[in-house]
């Protein structure tokens, strides 16, 4: 039996965090690669969405992803929410064959750090412990660490059951 690869996403129009985590048959969980899909804010929404889709394709070409999940969006302002959900639509369409799962931010925090109102730093600390990363391991951005937390939530929910 081979490793299972999981993709976690923190989707946005300008800076989508992503993380690939592997789970070995004996249950060992390992961070494989992370990144951020940056968009040129001078480009149209269509160009940014195409860039995001092309990056998703590159990740899928590199890794045999079996499961994918994203953090659920939230509505604060109508205009920004409409823009955000364009990016969510691209992820939904691209990963439809994997039955893309969505988790609420509080659920992710509770699963990873033990409480739904955990701070970003508490979540990062829990990620370091779960993945046995060095204490001084730094994430490039909150988008990247959020994507790792999403992937861990998916693993605990679907893979290690």
Q: Which of 54, 71, 129, 135 is catalytic?
A: 71
Is 143 annotated as catalytic? yes
Contact 90, 46 (CB under 8 A): no
DSSP 13: S
Comparing CA positions, the residue from 154, 157, 155, 139 lying closest to residue 27 is 155
Contacts of 32 (CB under 8 A, 6+ apart): 5, 20, 21, 22, 63
Point out the catalytic residue in the list 92, 129, 143, 144: 143
| Structure confidence by residue, pLDDT tens digits, 60-75 | 999 999 999 999 976 6
pLDDT, tens only, 7-29:
999 999 999 999 999 999 999 99
pTM of the complete model beyond 0.75: yes
CA distance 103 to 11: 12
Q: Is 71 a catalytic residue?
A: yes
């Amino acid at each position: 039996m081979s490793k299972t690869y999981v993709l976690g996403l923190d989707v946005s129009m300008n800076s989508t965090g992503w993380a690939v985590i592997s789970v070995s048959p004996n249950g060992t969980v390992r961070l494989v690669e992370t990144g951020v899909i940056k968009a040129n804010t001078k480009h149209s929404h269509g160009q940014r969405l195409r860039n995001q889709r092309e990056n998703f394709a590159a990740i899928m070409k590199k890794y045999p992803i079996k499961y994918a999940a994203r953090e659920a969006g939230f509505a604060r302002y109508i205009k920004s929410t409409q823009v955000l959900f364009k990016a969510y639509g691209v992820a939904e369409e691209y990963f439809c064959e994997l039955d893309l799962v969505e988790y609420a931010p509080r659920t992710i925090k509770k699963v990873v750090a033990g409480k739904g109102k955990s701070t970003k730093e508490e979540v990062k600390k829990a990620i370091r412990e779960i993945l046995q990363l060095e204490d001084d391991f730094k994430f490039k951005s909150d988008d990247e660490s959020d994507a790792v937390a999403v992937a861990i939530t998916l693993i605990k929910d679907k893979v290690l059951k």
